[in-house]
Amino acid sequence: MNPEQKTIATIDLENMEFYARHGCYRLEKEVGNRFMVNVSITYDATVAAATDDVACSVNYLDAYEVVRGEMRQASDILENVAKRIADALRAKFPAIEKLTVRVSKIAPPLGGKVERVTVTVTL
Q: Which pLDDT does position 36 carry in this prediction?
A: 98
55 DSSP 8-state letter: G
What does the alpha-carbon distance between residue 98 and residue 60 come to, in Å, rounded to a whole number?
A: 15
34 DSSP 8-state letter: E
User: Among candidates 52, 57, 55, which has minimal Cα distance to 10?
Assistant: 57
Query: Phi first, then psi: what are they for 108, rounded to 5°?
Result: -65, 150
pLDDT digits (tens, 9 = 90+) for 52-85: 999 999 999 999 999 999 999 999 999 999 999 9
Q: Which pLDDT does position 1 carry in this prediction?
A: 52
Decide: residue 92, CB within 10 A, 0-12 exposed, 13-18 middle, 19+ buried. Answer: middle
Decide: residue 44, CB within 10 A, 0-12 exposed, 13-18 middle, 19+ buried. Answer: middle
Q: Which helix (H) or strand (E) holds 20?
A: strand 8-20
Is the pLDDT at 8 greater than 60, yes or no? yes
Q: Which pLDDT does position 111 carry in this prediction?
A: 85
Q: How many CB atoms lie within 10 A of CB 40?
A: 16
pLDDT digits (tens, 9 = 90+) for 23-44: 998 888 899 999 999 999 999 9
Q: Which pLDDT does position 2 carry in this prediction?
A: 61
pLDDT digits (tens, 9 = 90+) for 95-107: 999 999 999 999 8
